[in-house]
Amino acid sequence: MKDRIFGVLQRVGRSFMLPIAILPVAGLLLGIGGSFTNETTLKTYGLEGIMGQGTVFHGIFQVMNDAGNIVFSNLPILFAIGVAIGMAKKEKEVAALSAVIAFFIMHASISALISINGGIENMLQGAVADVCGITSLQMGVFGGIVVGLGVAALHNRFYRIELPQVLSFFGGTRFVPIISALVYTLVGILMYFIWPPIQIGINSVGNVVLNSGYIGTWVYGFMERLLIPFGLHHVFYIPFWQTAVGGTMEVGGRIVEGAQNIFFAQLADSGVTHFAVSATRFMSGKFPLMIFGLPGAALAMYRTAQPGKRKLVYGLLLSAALTSMVTGITEPLEFTFLFVAPLLYGIHCVFAGLAYALMHFFNVGVGMTFSGGLIDLFLFGILQGNAKTNWIWVVIVGVFYFIIYYFLFSFLIKKLNLRTPGRFDDDEVKLYKRSDVDAKKKGSSGTDLGDTAVSESDGVAGSKSGSSAGSDEGDGSKEAIANELSIAICKGLGGKDNISDVDCCATRLRCTVFNANLVNDSVLRMTGASGVVHKGNGVQIIYGPKVTVIKSDFEEFLESDLADTIGKETEALRENHKDSIRENNENDTIERNKNGTMESNENNGNGITRKETSITSGGKKILVLSPITGFADKIENVPDEAFASKMMGDGAAVTPRAPIVKAPVDGEVTFVFDSKHAIGIKDSNGLNYIIHVGIDTVKLGGKGFDVFVRAGDKVKYGDTLMKLDLEYLKKNAPSIVSPVLCTDMNNRMTIKLLKEGAVQAGEELFEIEISE
């Protein structure tokens, strides 16, 4: 349990890095733009004539200032998106979209309650903020983190959910934004009541921290360095940088929370005379360490190396030292002496805390984006002027740090005979990274402090065997079926190495293969597919509306090691049985009943049975009207094998000559496909229909379609469903012939075409006869 919690915290920390990664660029824009639009800076350097108000340069720098400032002003939603992406197991883009939806819905719900309860006048001072134009509670990045973590949990739980047939279009990834919207409506209501006391508690913690003086600053610096080997430092410092734990201050007429936010708000405010040290105390201590201390340690390791190995050690350590000095990225140096001499790292942590305390003591007001290198020191210290930052103390303290690190590390390396690079004949000369440290911990304890439980690259727990371990408990049988299905699809497509691309539309899994001759249709139909269509190297496997779940499972499977094994097995099978595979593909046919439709009670070999739609009324006839004015024809004449062979159902085809598409039956809209080219309707008898406008129109991405209904809408005969841009569709679609299908055909149902040739929308198109 401890390792599992530890692993989750590591992933949370890593997920913070996605939004944090944009801060250097935003800080660069804001640092340069803010500096050269600041009247004090321009006067100091005599640049008013060149860069003063009204000049071209002033306009450019003002744009840079505003471009950088917008990032820091909207960090909550960036954290919501970044955390959701970082914590999602698969289909991360869906998690990102769902996080945006949930974020806005949560704050809109809070805003509504604020309005209902008398507006901001009845709220505590400083408790209300403008969040992306919404009047909401002052939640800062905590609000974004709450959304990101919650949406990721919902996403990982539901992104492969299978719903009943009538709702299957909303299954899989499409269900995630739906459930996120519903949940975060409730979360918003809940937050309105519980966040104010939480905010008071956070402010109290912040006051304790701010009143802790130099000792508190030392503890912060010590802990920040100490947690780096465990990957938890992001979890530690983010509350100080981005929330009221790091302080609250009014800047430019608005309340700003968090040390980093306060610094950058002051940077954008030309009226600030000295940056608040109460905020920069959580940042400025890095500069003496990164620019001076660690290069001193690098020199000590170089000088204590064997003379014969110094040339090799020189190249490695010089590169690492320059990286630390310029960018503030310290991993190569810190992890090297952490790996070979943990004692040195412990001393380093003590001096880190002291560096923060000294910068606090000398009133240094230099902030940063995420690192303490020369770039940030120049932008946010030197460029701002010593009067505003006291940056000169970074250099003074830094020189002493270089000397102390050099002599102390040299003494300890020699005295304790530590294995720093180049010290021993049998040692490999290298710098170490986090992966080396993790591997050492795993080898010594048998547990990788949670990293084996949670993969850094994709977050899938356990081994990469393709079994999707790490999904929700109790879902094993469902996962086993999904995995078995994916294995069969992979084999049927000729193995992983033969698969180039995977996508889906409303009903089909669309795959591109390198060699179409290696595809085995018999295997693919055993997966429960209604049929398989070949178009050059394109293979379309017909599954119906549940295809989105199948696609998600299959893509996840293809990233596993098991998929590589299947590829090798299939390669061996091809070598040994090429002739039999070719014969199977040539002779394989789709079994149909006398009406030309698939038998609906077919077992797919994986324990998945497609059941008949229950039609209780016998001997009845159901009329289906033409949804479009145009030219009616038999379904067999559709220029698409899947439709023409009735793999997806039976009905008729209409070539549109007028742009309006109307409801062919009374019923309920069950889905509108993302690309708008297909609409599903369920009638009062429980039968499902699809109106599919054009062939391969899914590739148009919604262009040419204007849809007026959505899933769940009740419709009557003749209600307008969508409007078509016929000229655009004729130019860009392979065909505008539009199948109108009943997808629930079984052996008691037959289709009678009532109209061929010219047809008006609302005329009888075909009749479904249901025998007793």
| Residues designated as active site | 505
HEC readout, 460-503: CCCCCCCCCCCCCCCCHHHHHHHHHHHHHHHHHCCCHHHEEEEE
Instruction: Give a yes or no: residue 764 inside a domain.
Output: yes
Q: How far apart are CA 550 and CA 546, in angstroms?
A: 7
- Among the candidates 393, 415, 437, a domain finishes at 415
Other residues' Cβ atoms within 10 Å of the Cβ of residue 452: 16
Residues 139 and 266 in one domain: no
* Structural domain harbouring 753: 614-770
Residues 293 and 201 in one domain: no
Instruction: Give a yes or no: residue 371 inside a domain.
Output: yes
CA 361 to chain centre: 42
Chain length of the chain: 772
Q: How far apart are CA 326 and CA 693, in angstroms?
A: 58
In 117-174, alpha helices (H)? 140-158
The pLDDT value recorded for residue 13 is 64
Q: Residue 470: name the closest of 460, 455, 483 by CA.
A: 460
Residue 591: burial class (beta carbons within 10 Å; 0-12, 13-18, 19+): exposed
Residues 622 and 572 in one domain: no
* Number of structural domains found in the chain: 4
Q: How far apart are CA 470 and CA 487, in angstroms?
A: 19
Q: Would you say the C-alpha torsion 259, 262, 268, 270 has a positive or negative sign? A: negative
Instruction: Give a yes or no: residue 594 inside a domain.
Output: no
Token code pair at residue 619: 């001997």
Residues 207 and 265 in one domain: no
Q: How far apart are CA 196 and CA 137, in angstroms?
A: 8
- Among the candidates 543, 570, 587, a domain finishes at 587
Single-letter code of the amino acid located at 297: A
Residues 210 and 247: beta-carbon distance below 8 Å: yes
**Coil/strand/helix, residue 769:** strand
Instruction: Give a yes or no: residue 13 inside a domain.
Output: yes
Instruction: Give a yes or no: residue 462 inside a domain.
Output: no
Residues 181 and 233 in one domain: no
Residues 119 and 207 in one domain: yes
The pLDDT value recorded for residue 456 is 31
Tokens 């909207």 correspond to what residue? Answer: 74
Residues 570 and 636 in one domain: no
Residues 156 and 227 in one domain: no
Residues 6+ apart with CB under 8 A from 289: 330, 351, 352, 355, 372, 401
Q: Residue 588: name the closest of 576, 580, 599 by CA.
A: 580
Q: How far apart are CA 244 and CA 496, in angstroms?
A: 51
HEC readout, 255-319: EEECHHHHHHHHHCCCCCCCCCHHHHCCCCCHHHHHHHHHHHHHHHHHHCCCHHHHHHHHHHHHH
CATH number at residue 518: 3.30.1360.60
Q: How far apart are CA 293 and CA 280, in angstroms?
A: 20
Q: How far apart are CA 710 and CA 673, in angstroms?
A: 10
Q: How far is CA 149 from CA 80, 145, 146, 157, 590, in A?
A: 8, 6, 5, 12, 47
The pLDDT value recorded for residue 605 is 35
Tokens 């709450």 correspond to what residue? Answer: 146
The pLDDT value recorded for residue 527 is 79
DSSP letter (8 states) at residue 363? T
The pLDDT value recorded for residue 579 is 45
Residues 183 and 220 in one domain: no
Instruction: Give a yes or no: residue 433 inside a domain.
Output: no
Residues 545 and 636 in one domain: no
Other residues' Cβ atoms within 10 Å of the Cβ of residue 227: 18
The pLDDT value recorded for residue 33 is 80
The pLDDT value recorded for residue 611 is 33
Instruction: Give a yes or no: residue 385 inside a domain.
Output: yes
CATH number at residue 714: 2.70.70.10
Other residues' Cβ atoms within 10 Å of the Cβ of residue 282: 28
DSSP string, 8-39: HHHHHHHHHHHHHTTHHHHHHHHHHHHHTT-H
Residues 627 and 663: beta-carbon distance below 8 Å: yes
Instruction: Give a yes or no: residue 593 inside a domain.
Output: no
Q: How far apart are CA 720 and CA 629, in angstroms?
A: 12
Residues 202 and 223 in one domain: no
Residues 6+ apart with CB under 8 A from 517: 582, 585
- Angle at which helix 392-415 crosses helix 294-303, to 10 degrees, equals 30
- Residues in the chain predicted with pLDDT less than 50, given as ranges, are 444-476, 569-570, 572-618
Residues 92 and 197 in one domain: yes
Tokens 């009905």 correspond to what residue? Answer: 651
- Among the candidates 374, 393, 415, a domain finishes at 415
